[in-house]
Amino acid sequence: MLITHVSDCFAPRTGGIESQVGDLAARQAAAGHEVHVLTATLGEAGERGGVVDLENGVHVHRLGARLPFDLPVNPVGPRLLRDAYRSLRPDVVHVHAGVLSPFAFDGARIAQDLGLPMAITWHCMLDGVVGPLRTVVGHSRWNRTSAALSAVSTEAASRVREVFAAEVSVLPNGIDLAAWGPAQRTPVADGPLRLVSTMRLAPRKRGVQLVELVGTAARRLAPPGVRLSIIGSGPAQARIAAAVSAQRLGDIVELRGRLTRQQVRAAYADADVFLAPAELEAFGIAALEARTAGLVVVARRGTGVAEFVEDGVDGFLVSDDDAMADVIVRLASERSLLDAIVAHNRSTAPAFGWDRVLAVADAEYARARSLARIA
């Protein structure tokens, strides 16, 4: 099968969509498919305007332009997309969408114009924009789209279903379960509860609020009660560092910056609990990796983390920051509870390996081809 993925962002950018599209494409190529990625992201050396790289068996078409702030857009992107479709003649087009994805939305519009079988996956939560999007869809040709619609979690899919009033499947993210499996762990009975959080340091990930709630928990515990490592980089890094200083948590919170996957795995081997404070988490790939490594995951209720964390079994799902602080205090005080959940997570892998994800993707492509024939 010739599969064409369309995504505004791709490597060398880092982030959830970029890593998932890259990993999915590479896995499909390894399975014997011919796989192309059309992206507005420039290459490592600034490749753009139609340059094609071969990366991990995947043909990556760099259709972006050199613009201020390295924005992944191109004023002539629609023409390049149309030319690429006509040249490749894909069996299926897989569009990867966020809230703001101008390149991907152009790719979807043009694929629909050309009558190509198309699957669209949302990697975001549409909270706050469901109403406007529903109005736009209701007054445009998108209310009769023949695309196979999906999202990365049940929560995210519910919002897409409200917009389109159509069938919306769940096409989850995937990870290499063996690579993220539990490493040797030494329980620390009398030391601090070892907390970790991996995120892009952007406001929507709520890193400042994470520091504040950990400070609240730390003040309720006798020292050394907790230790927090924050892994990642981004525009909110200075604000998070300022929050650490304001909370006087310099001896508790460590900002480790961006780490390689191998370094992240090593950090998880030296941690007990993963904290996911974001309120609009469509899936939570970092939380899944931590869960697979055996950590207790504490996340917000109503997010995609609920796909792989059952409250009280794999971790805890909480309603607000105060409740997250309460769980931290409880886990620091009740080490038997911590050890029981860690033992469960280390012995039971979540069902989000690539074999399952590839099978679900194949089913979505079959649905896309069926819908295209009907249309």
Q: Tens of pLDDT along 346-372?
A: 999 999 999 999 999 999 999 999 998
Q: Which of 271, 278, 235 is nearest to 254 (CA)?
A: 271
Which single residue is written with the structure tokens 């939305």? Answer: 105
Locate the domains of the chain by residue range: 2-174+353-374, 193-347
- For the cut 70, the answer to whether the pLDDT of residue 241 exceeds it is yes
Q: Helix, strand, coil shares of the chain as percentages rounded to 5? A: 45, 20, 40
CATH of segment(s) 193-347: 3.40.50.2000
pLDDT at 142 over 90: no
pLDDT-derived band at 144 (thresholds 50, 70, 90) equals confident
Beta bridge partners of 59: 36, 54
pLDDT at 70: 67
Averaged confidence pLDDT in the chain: 93
> Using CA of residue 86, residue 89, residue 92, residue 97, what is the dihedral sign?
negative
User: Three-state DSSP class for 181?
Assistant: coil
What percentage of the chain reaches a pLDDT higher than 90?
A: 82
Say whether pLDDT at 156 is over 90.
Answer: yes
Q: 128: alpha, beta or left, given left = phi > 0 and alpha = psi -120 to 50? A: left
CATH architecture of 2-174+353-374: 3-Layer(aba) Sandwich (3.40)
Digit-coded pLDDT (tens) for 59-104: 999 998 887 766 677 788 899 999 999 999 999 999 999 988 999 9
Whether 2-174+353-374 and 193-347 share one fold: the answer is yes
Q: Can you tell me which residue has the tokens 């695309």?
A: 147
| CA angle centred on 261, ends 259 and 263, rounded to 5° | 55
- Whether the per-residue pLDDT at 187 is higher than 70: the answer is no
Question: Does residue 329 register a pLDDT over 80?
Answer: yes
